[in-house]
Structure 1
Amino acid sequence: MPRQPRQLWTQEEDDDLKRLRRENPKYSWEEIIKQGNLEGRTPKSCSHRWHNYLKSDFNGGEFSPEEDEQIINLKRRHVSWASMPEEPLLKHRSPNDIENRWYSRLKKGTATVSDPRRP
């Protein structure tokens, strides 16, 4: 079966997903899709949308120098992106936000002389 092209999420879909997830936190993503107006969405896309964009406890603002330092230290210890929000300083950041921060701003500044990624 050919893959369907990605569709942007509508405000109505976001609202349905937020409402259903908050009202029924134990529902599987399949059940949420059935209950909501989410036909055409996969469980994986719903989970990704929720965990990376819609959870209300996320801070979408600028990263602080302390957060940056925490990300650098965790990365040195090979902590997974998914585990980083468990750290108190990063608890309001999504794994996706943390990973994007690493690749867009922090990675280049932490390369060592022997690191082949160094520019």
Structure 2
Amino acid sequence: MTDPPQAPQEPSERQLHPLPTGLVELYGLLAVLFVLVPEWMAGGLMLGLQGRQQRQLLAPAAVAWQRLPELRLASMSLAELRLLARRLRLCGYAGMARERLAARLLRRLRRRKAL
């Protein structure tokens, strides 16, 4: 008598062979060396450059920033623009958009300079 033919095994019944632990540890070490260490180095470099840029002033452009009110207004935040509008006693500045407020401030500053 012959053995009955065996039915093909389904994928869920297949026995998977686990990777050796040494190979898994090697892959983990390579992942740290090739992915995480460069990320840490790049992050540290970015923090170093950011700190250096905050301490540096643009010396050649500093004269232009003092002379041209357009440059000063463009570099200000909306809160700073509103504070300036308050100091210049500009009416209705609280509800204005940034561009409109900057344009009114520029007109006021130019008018004051002409006086």
TM-score band by shorter chain is under 0.3
- Identify, as 1 or 2, the structure richer in helix: 2
TM-score, normalised on structure 2?
A: 0.25
Larger radius of gyration: 2
